[in-house]
Homo-oligomer: A and B are copies of this chain.
Amino acid sequence: MKTVDWSLYVITDRRAAGSRSLPDLVWAAIQGGATVVQLREKEASTREMIRLGRALHELTQKAGIPLIVNDRVDVALAIDAEGVHLGVDDMPVSIARRLLGPHRLIGFSPSTLDEARQAEREGADYLGIGDVYGTPSKPDAGPPIGIEGLTRFVQAVSLPVVAIGGINVHNARAVIQAGAVGIAVISAVIGAPDPQEAAQQLRAIVTAQKGNTDESPNR
């Protein structure tokens, strides 16, 4: 499972889903071309996360793509997910690697280049880098890092970099040009009126641009 297509990484968000069913939205995103799904539920109980995670895992397994659990190594182990995504307030990468074994995926969102390099040393498989353009889903995030900031991370590590934060059909091409192997989106897909169509459009842009830049490293 370590060879992953990071092109279109869709993150769940109950608020962006509104009254719509998350499994339905995720299935639509998969039909549209999502290549990775992340379960991200900051306010759910452990029991609820396991229940939802199992439902999503059925869908991702059917599609043959990885399900990543945000923060919660216990939930990832409980539902046998393919990996976890960790931030600077979550479990350190080195401990997560010990608990998850060598085969599961570990992603990390660093705040600094030093944290990025350290995560690479500690066994992370990819980095989530942002906020690139200013995200509507994390109103408490700092100022956007822009393409310039993204490029610095791409150059600092040899890990694949997934770009996140305000990415849409207008700017997706630019982040792939900057060296990201994929784009992570929450509201642009899960909050879209038609998540399948939204995913399809984004995936097409990423795939086309990656075809144009095959000579680039890190992919």
Q: How far is the CA of A46 from the CA of B87 in the complex (A)?
A: 10
A11-19, A70-78, A123-131, A159-167: which lies at the interface: A70-78
A80 CB to nearest chain B CB (Å): 10
Q: Is the interface of A mostly helix, strand, loop or mixed?
A: helix
Find out whether the CB atom of B99 lies under 8 angstroms from the CB atom of A46.
no
Find out whether the CB atom of A99 lies under 8 angstroms from the CB atom of B71.
no
Q: Which of A63-83 contact B (CB under 8 A)?
A: 71-75, 77-78
- With an 8 A cutoff between CB atoms, is A90 at the interface? yes
A104 CB to nearest chain B CB (Å): 13
Q: Which residues of B contact A90 (CB under 8 A)?
A: 45-47
Find out whether the CB atom of A88 lies under 8 angstroms from the CB atom of B50.
no
Find out whether the CB atom of B48 lies under 8 angstroms from the CB atom of A89.
yes
Q: How far is the CA of A91 from the CA of B44 in the complex (A)?
A: 12
Q: Which residues of B contact A50 (CB under 8 A)?
A: 91-92, 95
* Residue of B with least CB distance to A49: B91
Q: Which of B47, B77, B95 contacts A99 (CB 8 A)?
A: B77
Interface CB pairs A-B, < 8 A, 14: A45-B89, A46-B72, A47-B88, A47-B89, A47-B91, A50-B91, A50-B95, A73-B77, A74-B77, A74-B91, A74-B99, A78-B91, A78-B95, A78-B99
